[in-house]
Structure 1
Amino acid sequence: MFRRLTSTITKEVPFVRSYATRYFNKHEGIFYPGGFTYYPRDENEVTPKIDPPKLFMVKRIKPFKGNPHWEKKILRDFKLEGNDVAIVKNIPENNGRLWRVKHLVEIKPITFPNGEPTENDINCSYLKENGELIISKSLEVSKERLEATEKFKNDPVKLDGNTLRVQSRKKWLSGW
């Protein structure tokens, strides 16, 4: 009699393990170029516009020492062995390598609030800690100043560092 009671209970209660995957397979997702599927919550929900950054600022936050050799190799490839910050292109190969060392680095997208720099703007731009690349025209060096510097460096009358050291030492030793 005990067997009949347990067998009827197990037959009446269905057990389904994979109903979550069936639920997602019912809805059509939206595929993005990154290779992932976005499932909207509502049918009327508008898909978010994704404007991926062109460059990432990668900052090492954990020590280099004590990591496996494959993680050290990735950090060396990004030149994060001694330096703390590197600029990395946003391409699938780099994103895959950054995914492997994401626990060792901090990744911030680089934004251009003053517009993207040209070849002439590279010397007068700087990268802030929050990932903004600022182009500052005040950092440009005028041609007059460059010419004056070259004239001063190449002037034969000017005393160079070695001559100044020798003359100063002679004065120090003579006393008068």
Structure 2
Amino acid sequence: MNVLRRTLSFLPKQIQFRQTGINTYERAANEIFERVRKLRETADQHVPPKLFVVERIATLRDRPHWEKKICELMGLSHSRRERSCSIQKKIGTYVVMPNTPHVCKLLWRIKHLVRVKPVVFPDGLPTPEEYTGTHLDRYGVFRIDQSLQVDERRLAPAPDLERATLTGREIAKPMHLKWMNSL
């Protein structure tokens, strides 16, 4: 490169740069692209996560209305109906969201308000029979715990017992006695 500059030293600077094609932005961009290309060739095929755990880490006070609306859509802040029922969702609220382009676009707009972690399955994906014995923690680790597995035979009602039906009078008398004796 220096040899080329010395040979073209008699030309004005503008002509030198045009002829040699020296552009620092282009050169830096090409170097970055080359590094990325090499990393992609050497790295194993990375599969993007199917689910994200999204946790709110900042308050929504004094934030623009569109950021509040996005958090409400994702379930990270209370909706109007929840507000009327006195349900509050504070900092630390987390939800599980799918990895879709639409969700990623929304997350990009509120990236300063949330922490996003991929959901990983170290024990493998669960089958429908294993759904009852699973646990997803706030760090995005989805575990299958055999000790939490529920036996379906224990949940089934006993076949010989009939369901008792109570009349209004049978319910009202003990409730009236509890009401009168509670003081």
Query: What is the TM-score normalised by the length of structure 1?
Result: 0.65
Pair 1:23–1:60, CA change in 2 (3 A): same
Note if contact 1:55-1:109 (Cα within 8 Å) is conserved in structure 2: yes
Matching residue of 1:70: 66
| C-alpha displacement of 1:46 | 2.1
Moved more, 107-116 or 148-157: 148-157
| C-alpha displacement of 1:132 | 0.4
Note if contact 1:27-1:39 (Cα within 8 Å) is conserved in structure 2: no
1:103 maps to which of 106, 112, 119: 112
Counting matched residue pairs gives 151
* Larger RCO (CA within 8 A; separation ≥ 6): 2
Residue 116 (structure 1) aligned with residue 125 (structure 2): yes
Q: Structure 1: which 5+ residue stretches go unaligned?
A: 1-10, 31-36
Residue 29 (structure 1) aligned with residue 24 (structure 2): no
Q: Distance in 1 between matches of 2:48 and 2:155?
A: 39
Note if contact 2:132-2:150 (Cα within 8 Å) is conserved in structure 1: no
Identical-pair percentage: 28
| C-alpha displacement of 1:73 | 1.7
Query: Over residues 9-54 of structure 1, what are the superposed CA-to-partner deviations in whole Å (9 max), with x where a residue is unaligned?
Result: xx779899x8332214555937xxxxxx92548xxx7245422111
2:36 maps to which of 11, 35, 38: 38
Q: Distance in 2 between matches of 1:61 and 1:26?
A: 37
Higher helix share: 2
Q: Distance in 1 between matches of 2:46 and 2:125?
A: 19
Q: Distance in 2 between matches of 1:120 and 1:113?
A: 18
1:142 maps to which of 147, 151, 162: 151
1:91 maps to which of 94, 97, 100: 100
Q: Distance in 2 between matches of 1:28 and 1:85?
A: 35
1:20 maps to which of 16, 19, 24: 24
Q: Distance in 1 between matches of 2:17 and 2:52?
A: 47
Note if contact 1:56-1:88 (Cα within 8 Å) is conserved in structure 2: yes
| C-alpha displacement of 1:68 | 0.9
What amino acid sits opposite 1:38 in the alignment? V
What amino acid sits opposite 1:72 in the alignment? K
Matching residue of 2:49: 53
Q: Distance in 2 between matches of 1:172 and 1:65?
A: 45
The two structures, once aligned, show a CA RMSD in angstroms of: 3.9
Matching residue of 1:79: 75
| C-alpha displacement of 1:121 | 2.6
Matching residue of 1:129: 138
